[in-house]
Amino acid sequence: MDAKNFTSTIAKAADCEPSQAAELLKAFANILKEECGAERRVAIPGFGSFEGVKQEEEVITDLATGHQLLLPPSIEIRFTAGGSLKKHIKENHGKEGQA
């Protein structure tokens, strides 16, 4: 699903205009950027949680040239699905596999 279809789907589910849905999604993305960027967790009950995890700087070796490279520290965003989402996907996936 592309961004346009996702926004339209959100608008229909929330019974609002696509422009309002787009603003809500933008606000959600900004919250994730800010909270996960500060290494904090954002939990959405019934869906899952997003967490910013700091990756320390690391020295790697380029196998082609043998040169060592320094990778700077970064923040990785990890998503962990909640129990309700896992259950829903498992139930729906099982039905599709049987059809």
At 93 the pLDDT is: 80
55-69 burial code (b ≥16 CB/10 A, e <16): eeeeeeeeeeeeeee
| Low-confidence residues of the chain: pLDDT under 70 | 94-99
Helix, strand, or coil (residue 30): helix
Q: At 96, list the tokens.
A: 């599709």
Sign of CA dihedral 4, 10, 12, 14: negative
Q: Give the chain's domains with CATH numbers.
A: 3-98 (4.10.520.10)
